[in-house]
Chains A and B, each alone.
Chain A
């Protein structure tokens, strides 16, 4: 089983609509990273969360880490076609700051 589960696996939204992607773990997330990937390309760093209850925003994207540090959400407000891609959460689940484990990914399509 995956250590990091993302939901939904895929999402199609109309331009202008809001959406939320979740990343859940059975283990404590010592550092939670959100990345965006376009097909066949590398990962673009979006945000990092470390503290329970932390919330960060950049442009129309907001990421939160719950108080228990086992779940994170990524919220996009007023989605645009440029938001389309694959969103991946990555986390240090060992607490050793040695490597990241990645979630299953969420494929987002934004229709006009």
Chain B
């Protein structure tokens, strides 16, 4: 149980285009999902917290208009990188929290999406 999927697993796009990444909880309902960014050989940096049915909470320094987050259902959150530029190239990982399970703050992680902007 507690499986989180991401789609696509990798994407290459041209500079200036927008890219949407999906994060799904497959066998549980996730009222909260998190989006992280990871640069090579670095740790995970939290970008935003996505709450179902409400606006996402962004971390300091993360542009809301550039990284659009939508959490329209209890099993799906999307991250759209708008007008992508080469510096947006990174590994994006989502996680989901299931309040129905024991382990208050445990997060289940997706496999990640590698974005390359040319």
Contacts and interface: CB of A to CB of B under 8 A. Distances in A.
Chains A and B bind each other: yes
B105 A31 contact: yes
What is the predominant secondary structure among interface residues of chain A facing chain B?
loop
Interface string B95-116: 1000000011111111110100
Contact of B111 (A42, A97, A102): A42
A38 to B, nearest CB: 10
Interface of A: 2, 31, 33, 35, 40-45, 48, 88, 90, 92, 97-105, 107
A75 to B, nearest CB: 21
Interface in B31-57: 34, 36, 41-46, 49
Nearest to A89: B43
B114 A40 contact: yes
B55 to A, nearest CB: 15
Contacts of B46: 99-102
